[in-house]
Structure 1
């Protein structure tokens, strides 16, 4: 009985992993490293996981404004950094039009400065 349950759980896990598509995009500048991961579950469902890290030589900014744009829309906001890092986990879009794209740009504004970074 327990072997059947383990087999069923294993098969379901494999099936669920096969049904989703995780893609990573990265970019860097002299001040910022950006990692943008997109998990596309189906044509109308995606989740994003974003990490923005300050790598500049000056003091760590207190807050940043950010915009990350892809073919399906954008994620934007204003946030503080935790030890120079901002993590945005689980931003999701259900029922949206999901388009796979190669053109993703991250714009970061801080302390009167601005950089746009192409993510590949």
Structure 2
């Protein structure tokens, strides 16, 4: 019985220490037609994981695809002819190690192009 309790305490402590030091920053922004959420999970001073969600919020039927460009201090990304599923694009998490990490006060710039239209959105930290 004591052994089980001790193992449970050790498992809880390991879980607690594994999560210590991680920080999640949620950047958000919207325009007339799009809403963007960029989530950054900072794992250490030179390691992070990022994911992106772009949602069509305009009137009428959502486009079938769009292009985007994302610029940030720690890098950027882009996509062309990205298919939308019910007006939404969700990226898979993207990790880097040995990289410059995103800061809480960074401004992330996103440009979305679709059907001959273009909108620019600045994302900011939603504390």
TM-score range, shorter chain: over 0.9
Task: Name which of 115, 120, 123 aligns with 1:119.
Answer: 123
Tell me which residue corresponds to 1:46.
Answer: 48
TM-score of the pair, normalised by structure 1: 0.92
Bigger shift: residues 22-31 or 55-64 = 55-64
Query: Which is greater in Rg?
Result: 2
Aligned residues: 120
RMSD: 1.3
Give 1:97 shift.
Answer: 2.1
1:27-46 pair list within 5 angstroms: 27-46=29-48
Equivalent position SS for 1:59: coil
Matches of 1:25 and 1:8, distance apart in 2: 35
1:6-45 pair list within 5 angstroms: 6-45=8-47
Equivalent position SS for 1:89: coil
Unaligned runs of 5+ in 1: none
Matches of 1:4 and 1:116, distance apart in 2: 55
Matches of 2:100 and 2:86, distance apart in 1: 35
After the TM superposition, which segments of 4 or more aligned residues of structure 1 sit over 6 Å from their partners?
A: none
Bigger shift: residues 88-97 or 73-82 = 88-97
1:1-120 pair list within 5 angstroms: 1-78=3-80, 79-100=82-103, 101-120=105-124
Alpha-carbon distance change, 54 to 99 in structure 1, aligned in 2, over 3 angstroms: closer
Matches of 2:111 and 2:14, distance apart in 1: 39
